[in-house]
Structure 1
Amino acid sequence: MSGDVATDGHPSLSVVIPIYNESESIVQLYDELTAALDKLGQSYEVIFVDDGSTDGSFNVLSDLCKHSKNLKVIRLRRNSGQSAALSAGFDYSCGDYIITMDGDLQNDPADIPRLLEKMTEGYDVVCGWRVNRKDPLSKKLFSKLSNILRQILIKDKVHDYGCTLRVYKRECINDFELFGEMHRYIPALMVVNGYSVGEVKVNHRERCHGKSKYNWKRLFKGFTDLIVVTFWSRFATRPMHIFGTAGLAIGALGGFVTLYYIFGRIFLNISLADKPMFILSVLSIIIGLQFIVFGILADISLKTYYNQKKFKNYRVEKIIGFSDEPLKVSMIKQL
Structure 2
Amino acid sequence: MDMDGGIILSLIIPAYNESSIILRNIEEIEGWMKENMPDLAYEIVVVDDGSTDAMGQLIDERAKNDPLLRPLHHKGNKGRGRAIRTGFSGSRGKYVICLDADLSYSPKHIPHLLKPLQNDQADITLASAYHPDGSVSNVPLSRALLSRWGNRILSAGVQGKFSTVTCVVRGFTREVLDQLELINDGKDLHLEIIQKAELFGLRVVEIPGHLKWRDRDRGRKRKNRLRDYIPFISMSGTIASHLSYNYVLRPGTILTIPVLGMLLIALLGIMLTVYSFVDRLIESPNPFGLMTIYVALRETLIRGQLTLSISVGSLVISAIFIAFYFASQQTKKNYEELYTLLNRMNLRLKQLESEKEG
Q: TM-score, normalised by structure 1?
A: 0.66
Change (3 A) 1:212 1:72: farther
**Higher share of residues assigned helix:** 2
1:226-245 superposed matches below 5 A: 227-228=243-244, 230-232=246-248, 234-235=250-251
Change (3 A) 1:19 1:307: same
Partner Cα separation in structure 2 for residue 24 and residue 95 of structure 1: 28
1:13-32 superposed matches below 5 A: 13-32=9-28
Q: Structure 1: which amino acid aligns with 2:294?
A: L
Q: Which position in structure 2 is the counterpart of 1:147?
A: 148
Q: Structure 2: which amino acid aligns with 1:268?
A: Y
Partner Cα separation in structure 2 for residue 200 and residue 290 of structure 1: 41
Counterpart among 336, 344, 351 of residue 306 in structure 1: 336
Change (3 A) 1:171 1:220: farther
Identity %: 22
| Contact 1:18–1:103 under 8 Å retained in 2 | yes
Q: Which position in structure 1 is the counterpart of 2:240?
A: 224
Counterpart among 88, 109, 114 of residue 107 in structure 2: 109
Where in structure 2 are there 5+ consecutive unaligned residues?
A: 222-227, 282-289, 345-350, 353-358
Change (3 A) 1:106 1:218: same
Partner Cα separation in structure 2 for residue 299 and residue 282 of structure 1: 26
Partner Cα separation in structure 1 for residue 148 and residue 27 of structure 2: 33
Change (3 A) 1:36 1:177: farther
Change (3 A) 1:16 1:7: closer
1:33 and 2:29 correspond? yes
1:193-208 superposed matches below 5 A: 193=199, 195-201=203-209, 204=212, 206-207=214-215
Q: Structure 2: which amino acid aligns with 1:276?
A: L
| Contact 2:151–2:163 under 8 Å retained in 1 | no
Rg larger in structure: 2
Worse-matched range after superposition: 81-90 or 94-103: 81-90
Q: Structure 2: which amino acid aligns with 1:147?
A: R
1:10-159 superposed matches below 5 A: 11-37=7-33, 39=37, 41-69=39-67, 71-119=69-117, 120=119, 122-128=121-127, 135=138, 138=140, 140-151=141-152, 154=155, 156=160
Match of 1:199, SS?
A: strand
Partner Cα separation in structure 1 for residue 96 and residue 49 of structure 2: 19
| Contact 1:99–1:167 under 8 Å retained in 2 | yes
Change (3 A) 1:169 1:232: farther
Q: Which position in structure 1 is the counterpart of 2:355?
A: none
What is the Cα deviation at residue 300 of structure 1?
4.2
Q: Which position in structure 2 is the counterpart of 1:297?
A: 327
Partner Cα separation in structure 2 for residue 292 and residue 133 of structure 1: 39
Where in structure 1 are there 5+ consecutive unaligned residues?
A: 316-323, 326-335
| Contact 1:181–1:221 under 8 Å retained in 2 | no
